[in-house]
């Protein structure tokens, strides 16, 4: 068939950009402009994850290996929806605001709507407003020709996502590694009470944030073998190395979850410098190490009060 290029890009009367689609070799790719790849699919293997950050986003399976209901915001070429549809038993709802992206679902072999899978045309931020807690996993991967729309990275949006998750549910967010990353991560951490971890994608430029509702992201409750055992050989081959990398990064970070900290923290004046969440008080922590007499936040411990040289007078909180 040879390489081909569909000149589909342009602003339509509805204000939405019509995407660009390239076929080069065995890959079919979707772009909004020439500045960045939005999605890529291997022709003949449409459910294979062809872009590294999508494998990182699937890391939610380490904490939720068998979700019942997944919400995805952002369709693109459907890499994550297709992978989850073919490899998990979950119901999948995909929300996409751009009708011209949805119109390409057959080009990218996105499954047809049925009882277990559906694509909804809607603004993702509006869709999650006032929803009851019905989702086990929410995957936020919505971008347009400019980047991530402001309404999909606002504090209010993350609050709505938190409300729409079941207790113990996970939100997974694909963010660009740029100056806006840290404020967005801080906002997520405030909403999710510090139960947040971030993992850089292998190829760089993307950072994946995992946020858990009322549950610690401790690696002690994660099992690589248990996570992979229900996947077929092709899926295991795609994800095993990336899941091992994620586990290693989480073990190094050793973050404590605010919701797992005992109730008596509310009477102590301590704050967390990294996530800007105030733990029952107003004073921020100094980022120092244990040898300096202070315990650094988000490295497995949170300071409860100034340390003294006497071990008997030192008070610390240990992760659950």
pLDDT tens digit sequence for 90-124: 999 999 999 999 999 999 999 999 999 999 999 99
Buried b (16+ CB within 10 A) or exposed e, 148-175: bbeebbeeebbbbbbebbbeebbbbbbb
Contact 152, 139 (CB under 8 A): no
Over the stretch 208-251, which tens digit does the pLDDT of each residue have? 999 999 888 999 999 999 999 989 999 999 999 999 999 999 99
Q: Give residue 288's pLDDT.
A: 33
Contact 191, 164 (CB under 8 A): no
Percent of the chain with pLDDT over 90: 58
Contact 316, 303 (CB under 8 A): yes
Over the stretch 144-170, which tens digit does the pLDDT of each residue have? 766 788 999 999 999 999 999 999 999
Residue 185 falls in which region: left (phi positive, over 0), alpha (psi -120 to 50) or beta: alpha
Distance CA 282, CA 65 (A): 38
Residue with tokens 């019509």: 18
Cα radius of gyration (the chain): 21
H/E stretch holding 166 reads strand 165-176
Please state, rounded to an integer, the average pLDDT across all residues of the chain. Answer: 79
Q: Both ends of the chain: CA-CA distance in Å?
A: 57
Band of residue 281 on the pLDDT scale cut at 50, 70, 90: very low
Distance CA 252, CA 261 (A): 20
Distance CA 174, CA 198 (A): 10
Compute the 3-state secondary structure of the chain and give helix, strand, coil in percent, each to the nearest 5: 30, 25, 45
Q: In what order do the strands lie in the sheet with 27-31?
A: 4-6, 20-24, 27-31, 37-42
Distance CA 165, CA 1 (A): 45
Q: Give residue 280's pLDDT.
A: 31
**Highest mean pLDDT: which range of 12-21, 177-186, 274-283:** 177-186
Lowest-confidence segment of 16-25, 43-52, 146-155, 261-270 by average pLDDT: 261-270
Over the stretch 288-310, which tens digit does the pLDDT of each residue have? 333 333 333 333 333 333 333 33
Taking the whole predicted model, whether its pTM rises above 0.85 is answered as no
Q: What angle do CA 65, 96, 131 make, to 5 degrees?
A: 65
- Residue 259 reports pLDDT greater than 90: no
Q: What is the DSSP letter of 279?
A: E
Q: Give residue 269's pLDDT.
A: 31
Distance CA 184, CA 100 (A): 28
Distance CA 131, CA 124 (A): 12
CA 198 to chain centre: 8
Non-local CB neighbours of 180 within 8 Å, separated by 6+ positions: 153
Of 320, 211, 300, 290, which Cα lies nearest the Cα of 253? 300
Distance CA 8, CA 21 (A): 7
């Amino acid at each position: 068939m040879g390489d081909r290029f569909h000149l589909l890009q342009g602003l339509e009367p509805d204000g939405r950009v019509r995407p660009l689609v390239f076929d080069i070799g065995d890959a079919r790719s979707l772009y909004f402009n020439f500045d960045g790849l939005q999605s890529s699919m291997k022709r003949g293997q449409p459910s294979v994850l062809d872009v590294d950050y999508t494998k990182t986003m699937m890391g939610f399976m380490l904490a939720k290996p068998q979700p019942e209901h997944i919400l995805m915001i952002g369709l693109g070429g459907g890499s994550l929806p297709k992978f989850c549809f073919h490899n998990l038993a979950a119901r999948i709802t995909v929300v996409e605001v751009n009708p011209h992206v949805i119109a390409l679902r057959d080009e990218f072999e996105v499954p047809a709507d049925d009882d277990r899978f559906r694509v909804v045309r809607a603004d993702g931020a509006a869709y999650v407003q006032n929803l009851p807690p019905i989702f086990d996993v929410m995957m936020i991967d919505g971008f347009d020709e400019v980047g991530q729309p402001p309404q999909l990275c606002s504090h209010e949006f993350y609050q709505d996502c938190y409300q729409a998750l079941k207790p113990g549910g996970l939100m997974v967010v694909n963010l660009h590694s740029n100056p806006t990353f840290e404020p967005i991560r801080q906002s997520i951490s405030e909403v999710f009470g510090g139960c947040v971890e971030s993992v850089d994608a292998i190829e760089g430029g993307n950072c994946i944030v995992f946020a858990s509702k009322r549950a610690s992201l401790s690696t002690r409750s994660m099992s690589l073998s248990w996570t992979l055992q229900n996947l077929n050989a092709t899926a295991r081959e795609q994800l095993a190395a990336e899941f091992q990398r994620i586990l290693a990064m989480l073990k190094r970070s050793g973050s404590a979850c605010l919701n797992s900290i005992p109730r008596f923290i509310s009477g102590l004046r301590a704050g967390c410098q990294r996530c800007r969440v105030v733990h029952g008080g107003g004073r921020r922590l100094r980022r120092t190490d244990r040898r300096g007499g202070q315990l650094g936040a988000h490295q497995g411990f949170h300071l409860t009060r100034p340390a003294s040289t006497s071990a008997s007078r030192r008070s610390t909180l240990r992760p659950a």
